[in-house]
Amino acid sequence: MSIKSELGFIRVGAHSHIRGLGLKDGKALIKADGMVGQIEAREAAGIIVELIKQGKMAGRGILLAGPPGTGKTAIAVAIAKELGEDVPFIAIAGSEIYSSELKKTEVLMQAMRKAIGVRIHEFRKVYEGMVSDLDIKMTRHPYNPYQQIPESAKIKLKTKNEERTLTVGSSIARELIGRGVGIGDVIWIEAETGRITKLGKCKEYEGPKYDIEAEVQVPMPTGPVLKEKEFIYTVTLHDLDMRMHSSSGGLFSLFFGGREEREIPPDVRQNVDKLVKKWVDEGTAEIIPGVMFIDEASALDIEAFSFLGRAMESELAPIIILATNRGITKVRGTDIISPHGIPLDILDRLMIITTRKYSAEEIKEILQIRAREEKVKLSEEALETLTKIGEETSLRYAAQMLTPAQIIAKRKGRDTVTAEDVKEIRTLFADVKQSSEYLKKYEAEMLK
């Protein structure tokens, strides 16, 4: 049995409905995995996924080129999903590398290492069983006489073969309370850390039963209470860098600088790489290259591009996907004009996928999927109105109006969003074209 930890990677909320590329034998289904339309781009992305799986993308990257709101980010997310459940996905915008705290290359390096996962297999001793008795001893809080805090606990764990009583200290007792552990629950207590995992209610438990049980039912564990279990979890190279760095950094790093704003010295990274390679050789870890997605690629400058060029060549590299909605423009930091503002030597190594504008029908389908995802009920006219807005402005703007429109509907005591709610919300929030035109007009007036 194994357990997968929650990943620390960015959850891309607006793309939560995307579960894959929606392909069957390489052909895009009209509507599948949360994806609608954009057939050629999805099929091209499917070929990229094949190349990645066969290890044939080394030294190359991908460029998604298309107008705003045409699914560039969605496709990048889908590529990561196709590669596997715990494959890291990290998204940054080209402009984000210009931070005041860190060098551009350091921002890129950190992003790159957040996009490389390390799946670690670890055996740990755990106490496992159904709680058959629990006695928590409380005492008075040392500084607050009105408060009771747990001092210790006696807990009896039962498997099909054994029953064992454990005496635990205050921190585990506090966790037992915090997690709402009660008699009849099947739990794990990790021997080394005292970390508690509640697996669910025991099927064989003979206490009071309720008609509605919100908790999962699990069978009573077998074997001894204390046993070794395999834990599988995924961290990123960046997580390991941070851990290695703070263990060598001492107190200074605890007090100065936010956790994310620190530069990690190269030797720390070298040590992490060495360690990970050792784990891989020993068979206790696997490296999972993920996806590093860089939006607004034309905001990157020449230095950033040469960093990425080297990164593509390196041994430990994620899949690099750039996205742009710019045509021919200057490469930032130079006077060179180039397609998408990307230097030619980098463009040479990119496989380019273009995305096209959606039809009204496709916009409608996508809005419907997003509405379901965000649990927003729309009347047929509301959907039509929103689709029209999507055509006139952008898909993204229309999708963003879903939840605000629901708030308007709720205020009026309705469950379902009507066309009126959508129209009202349209007057309250500007789309990009409106807001920039407004400011342009305002600027012109200021100059008079």
Ligand X SMILES: Nc1ncnc2c1ncn2[C@@H]1O[C@H](COP(=O)(O)OP(=O)(O)O)[C@@H](O)[C@H]1O
Residue 363 engages ligand X in binding (rule: CB under 6 A): no
Among 21, 73, 268, 385, the residue binding ligand X under the rule CB under 6 A is 73
The whole-angstrom separation of Cα 286 and Cα 308 is 24
**Judged by CB under 6 A, does residue 340 bind ligand X?**
no
Binding mask 26-55 for ligand X (x = CB under 6 A): --------xxxxx-----------------
68 contacts ligand X (rule: CB under 6 A): yes
Site size for ligand X (CB under 6 A): 20
d(CA 91, CA 14): 13
Shortest reach from residue 370's CB to ligand X, in Å: 6
Is 158 one of the binding residues for ligand X (CB under 6 A)? no
* Backbone angles phi and psi of 26, in degrees to 5: 85, -10
The distance of closest approach from Cβ of residue 285 to Mg ion in the complex, given in angstroms and rounded to an integer, is 33
Phi, psi of 25 (to 5 degrees): 50, 40
Q: Residue 177 in contact with residue 136, Cβ under 8 Å?
A: yes
Q: Tell me if 298 contacts Mg ion by CB under 5 A.
A: no
442's enclosing H/E stretch is helix 432-447
Shortest spacing between CB 156 and Mg ion, in angstroms: 54
> Minimum CB separation from Mg ion for residue 400, in Å?
13
Can you tell me the distance from the alpha carbon of 9 to that of 288, in angstroms, rounded to the nearest whole number? Answer: 14
**129 CB-side CA count, 13 A:** 22
Distance of alpha carbon 430 from alpha carbon 400, whole angstroms = 11
Q: Which residue is nearest to ligand X (CB)?
A: 71
Residues 62-81 that bind Mg ion (CB under 5 A): 72-73
The secondary structure of residue 186, as a DSSP letter, is: E
Residue 70 interacts with which of Mg ion, ligand X, none, CB < 5 to 8 Å by class? ligand X
- What Cα–Cα distance (Å) separates residue 331 from each residue in 6, 102, 134, 328, 337? 39, 22, 67, 9, 6
Binding mask 397-416 for ligand X (x = CB under 6 A): --x-----------------
Q: How far is CA 181 from CA 65, 173, 178, 439, in A?
A: 52, 10, 8, 57
Using CB distances below 5 to 8 A depending on partner kind, what does residue 38 bind out of Mg ion, ligand X, none? ligand X
Closest-CA residue to 58 (of 352, 236, 317): 317
Q: How far is the CB of 51 from ligand X (least distance, A)?
A: 21
Q: How far is the CB of 354 from ligand X (least distance, A)?
A: 11
x/- string (CB under 6 A) for ligand X, residues 296-325? ------------------------------
The residues binding Mg ion (CB under 5 A) are: 72-73
Residues making contact with ligand X (CB under 6 A) = 14-15, 18, 34-38, 66, 68-74, 366, 395-396, 399
